[in-house]
Amino acid sequence: MTQRFDFIIIGAGSAGCVLADKLTRCGGHQVLLLEAGGSDRRGWIKIPVGYGFTFSDPAVNWCFSAEPDPGLQNRTGYWPRGKVIGGSSSINAMAYVRGLPHDFDDWETAGAQGWGWDAVRPSFDALESNDELGPDGNRQRRGGGPVRVTDLQGQMHPFSQNFLAAARDMGWPTSTNMNALPPGNNNHAPGEGLNYVRSTVRNGFRWSAADAFLRPALKRSNLTVLRQAQVEQIMLTGKRATGLRYRQAGQIHEATASREVILSAGAVSSPQILQLSGIGPAGMLKTHGIDVAHHLPEVGRGLQDHLALSHFYWSNTATLNATLGNRWGQAMAGLRYVLTRRGPLSVPVNQCSGYARTKGTDVPDVQLYCNPASYATRPDGKPQIDRDNGFLLCVQPSRPTSRGEITLRSANPGDAPLIQPNSLATEEDRATAIRASHLLQELAQTPAMQAVTRARREPDILPMDDAALLENFRARAGTVFHPSCTCRMGHDAQDSVLDARLRVHGLSGLRVIDASAFPNITSGNTNAPTLMLAARAADLVLEDNTHSAQAAE
């Protein structure tokens, strides 16, 4: 029996949860939300430090692997993606980072009219409820939005103060929230500086998109949510999307949408679903025996991601390792968390971050991460924190110019797609990698960092010249899990997949609303701009459907 709805949303991740909330508020639309994964009611999802354990858990994670990447010495990268209610917002590091103004102005230049900074900034403001720690130590609430953004500096490890001291040694501001973006002054660019990370944490628990948007929406009778439902094909009638086929409990089902099908499966799975539906590059589709329903060459192309280079150091003073690097400390931290929702388990490991300029640049072109712990990933994918005290310094080029691609491995919806990152493919990206590495060298040599460094761990970045720095970056840099742009907005079908209202070029009744729609990657962590994009896109969906209903009367 075919199920009938007004709107169908594919994917209950960050974007899908926002859409489910906004499209059901009026009560007049029947909405179906499908999620390939299961429930997010899991301890390691809710505990902020628990993302180290969901990092490789196939119960909540697609656990994708990229193809060997020539730019990274043919290494194969691991690409975790949320396969659970809340999507990647249920397994990410909870950093809430808007991005920089020029990110969104560049979107507009790329053809996404109406997505410049002046347009999107009010949308960020409306989404957020910021819980800040004031100078007097008291908490101050700013904004009344559903996304809880918390300043956790009062609970962060004291060692993190050394990172801020090192930033001051570098001449960077340390009093600015990354999302506040004050005007540049004293030779500083807007957004430049290092501070404590703002996190999507509320009362000691992760605050995912499911918490912020889906749970309120579930109280409405016009929302239907299906879990463990994997979409296999979007159905077209001519050039209009009319519904989809999905598999649940081994059975194939169909559902129709009288208004729109909205694809929000993420930057890896959204292009895959389009391609499985015969929407994409005709030559590639024919290779896999898929009938071409709509030739759209840019589907899956334009992939961008952030690469980060991390170096670890042994510390001569206590870091998080002193607590979490032994069973007794872990037990005490666990007990404290159970009793108070405070302590090391209540705070993400990423504690300090910010933007900086490398030599010769006018705007911040790298993001820094500084963590008061050293650790490794075991062969089974689980985190292994060092017993000895250590810390991490990390730098990430913010705006890469290289573009990769998502393509089909086969016509079988159960097969993971091919992820081809194409890292460091441009001279500009290679030059930025070298400049970013120099910045890491400088940060490690500040008086503040030298004062707490007992030993530099191998490979030691300090003696490396430009050639060695580039090879070190190729050998050690890896994704920080921000894939985007694979169904990007743009001018037309020759340079993009979507128009500025996120409608698929050449088709009606079909949109893609998630990080794949970014024209270019933003400068920082991508969850906040994904939430913003979905909130604004939901308004466009409602506006367009109101107009079409009025026109039909």
Q: Which residues are catalytic?
A: 482
List the structure tokens of 137. Answer: 């130590």
- In angstroms, the CA 520 to CA 144 distance is 29
Rounded to 10°, the helix 117-127/101-109 angle is 130
Peptide bond into 182 cis (omega under 30): no
Cα–Cα distances (Å) from 282 to 86, 354, 411, 488, in that order, read: 33, 42, 14, 18
Residue 300 backbone zone (phi > 0: left; psi -120 to 50: alpha; other: beta): left
Instruction: Give the containing element (helix H, strand E) for 257.
Output: strand 251-263
- In angstroms, the CA 68 to CA 56 distance is 19
Q: Residue type at 525? A: N
Buried b (16+ CB within 10 A) or exposed e, 360-383: eeebbbbbbbbbbbbbeeeeebeb
3-state secondary structure of 553: coil
Q: Which residue has the tokens 């396969």?
A: 83
Q: Residue type at 98? A: R
- In angstroms, the CA 492 to CA 113 distance is 12
| Residues ≥6 apart with Cβ < 8 Å to 294 | 236, 239, 278, 279, 504, 506, 507
- In angstroms, the CA 301 to CA 496 distance is 9
- In angstroms, the CA 247 to CA 228 distance is 8
